[in-house]
Amino acid sequence: MKRAYCIFWLLLITFFSAAASSYNVFEENGKVGLKNEQGKILIPAKYDALGWSNGKFSIVNNVTGYKDAGVWGLINLENQLITKAIYEDVFTGDGSLIIARKKSNLSLRTVAGCLSTSGKEVIPFQYDGINISFMHAIVFTKIGNQYKYGLIDLDNKTLIPQQFKSIYSIGSLRYAVENFDNKMALPFTKFPSVENDCGNNGLKE
C-alpha cells in the first residue's frame, strides 16, 4: 500500500512537471506573462512574477501564482484572478493545496494558512507555519519564546495538540513527536487523547 502511495505521488509530480514545461513565462516591458507551447498568450505581460514565491513555476489545476506590487495572489490560465494579491507568500503543498502567508488582521504577525486552487480557505490563517503531509498538516505557532508543533487534519481538527518541540512525518499517516526534554515517541499511527492516554507532556513513558 505504501509503495502504491509513493508511486501515485511520483506520477502526480511527474504530471505537474510535464504540464509546467508546456508553458513559457515571457517578459515584456519589465513585466511577465505566460504563453502556451504554441506561442498563444494566456496571461498578458502585466505582472511582476508568475509561479510561486519560492522561485518555482508550476501549474496546479490550471492555476498558478502571480505577483503584483510586491504581494501574491492566484490566477488561472484564462487570465482570471482567483484571489486578490494580498499574500506575502504562495507556494504548493501536497497535491492541489496552496500554502499562503499574509499579515494578520488582528496583529502585525505574518500568519500561514492553506487555500484550494479555487481560492477557498481550507486551513484558516492562524499559524506561524504549515507543512502539508499525507493529507494532514504539521503546524507550528510561537507561544511565549518557543515554537510549538502540532498536527491537524484538513478540516482544522486537532489530531496532536500544539505542545511539542517538533513533529516528524515518518510515512503515510505515521508521525514521531519530540518534546522539550528531547524525548521522542514513535510512531503515532493513531491520534490519542493526550490528556487521557499520555503523560510526560504527551509522551508515553
Alpha-carbon distances of 97 from 91, 111, 135, 203, rounded to whole Å? 9, 17, 10, 31
Nearest to 100 by CA among 62, 78, 132: 132
How much is the pLDDT for 187? 56
How much is the pLDDT for 188? 60
**Cα(55)–Cα(165) distance, integer angstroms:** 29
How much is the pLDDT for 90? 98
- CA torsion 159-161-165-168 (nearest 10°) is 0
Instruction: Give the residue ranges of the chain where pLDDT is below 70.
Output: 1-21, 187-205
Q: Is 32 helix (H, G, I), strand (E, B) or coil?
A: strand
Q: What is the pTM of this model?
A: 0.80
What are the φ and ψ backbone dihedral angles of 36, each rounded to 5 degrees?
-85, 180
How much is the pLDDT for 5? 43
How much is the pLDDT for 20? 54
- CA torsion 45-50-53-54 (nearest 10°) is -130
> Which residues in 144-205 belong to E strands, given as ranges?
146-153, 158-164, 166-169, 175-178, 184-188
How much is the pLDDT for 133? 83
How much is the pLDDT for 200? 45
| Contacts of 3 by beta carbon, 8 Å cutoff, 6+ apart | none
